[in-house]
Homo-oligomer: A and B are copies of this chain.
């Protein structure tokens, strides 16, 4: 169960090919073949069926473990290095598009004003990624968002080691409707009234999460594998499907006039933003974290 072999195994499984994995990892096919053989002989079990290459039941089981395990290993390494690294005047912030709202951006600006020497480097990421980026030390602070019942914490991927998550903001939800939608005039809608409408499936608001919270249904009209809010709103305006967003993401000048927000009245849900960080050494990063949560 050498992590090296585990990495090779997940890469092979992902590609469904020894040669493709070899290319990605910078080995020859032969080396990959030997590594997989070594792992299989270590466990005493076949992990992959060949031609076509696909995991056996035992292999599938191992795949479920390997990802979190390797993540935890990288996180541990990053944590040790971080604890020993000297304080820098660079803050690397990873944020999901909907987490960095105008309000949160404002708080960040105020925190920077108190810390003029601080350089901030922002990158956007998917909701599922923020925790891993922070855990692996690629970001000092993370801002994720998600939809939950009021005051509930976000459900973060486990096994990323010691990490602090603090609520930063909560706001109500709206459904973005095209201007010509029949429900446009309403002062509020229940999600249940829209189970049969067509929806956009995007990382910004995955339909799977919506179904978790509001029951089955919510068929996907269009899947958009990107996280640009502007694009999403144009898709809504064009009638490709509906989407649930935090209320203040749908105020001018962001909102095109052909999209109308209608508050979600039931179930009682909110859009929540949380700040993620590992144990921070005293310094600018910790100050900004305090300012964002304070």
- Name A's B-contacting residues (CB within 8 A): 1-3, 43-45, 57-58, 61-62, 64-66, 68-69, 72-73, 75-77, 79-81, 83-84, 158-159, 161-162
| Min CB–CB distance A68 → chain B (angstroms) | 8
Q: Which residues of B contact A162 (CB under 8 A)?
A: 64
| Min CB–CB distance A165 → chain B (angstroms) | 15
Of the candidates B3, B57, B75, which one forms a contact with A83 in the assembled complex, judged by CB atoms under 8 Å apart?
Answer: B57
Q: Which residues of B contact A61 (CB under 8 A)?
A: 79-80, 83-84
Of the candidates B2, B57, B76, which one forms a contact with A69 in the assembled complex, judged by CB atoms under 8 Å apart?
Answer: B76
> Contact at B69–A1, with CB atoms within 8 Å?
no
Q: What is the CA–CA distance of A81 and B44 in the complex, to the nearest angstrom?
A: 9
Q: Which residues of B contact A84 (CB under 8 A)?
A: 45, 57-58, 61
Q: What is the CA–CA distance of A58 and B61 in the complex, to the nearest angstrom?
A: 34
Q: Which residues of B contact A57 (CB under 8 A)?
A: 83-84
> Contact at B69–A65, with CB atoms within 8 Å?
no
Q: What is the CA–CA distance of A229 and B57 in the complex, to the nearest angstrom?
A: 44
Q: What is the CA–CA distance of A58 and B77 in the complex, to the nearest angstrom?
A: 10
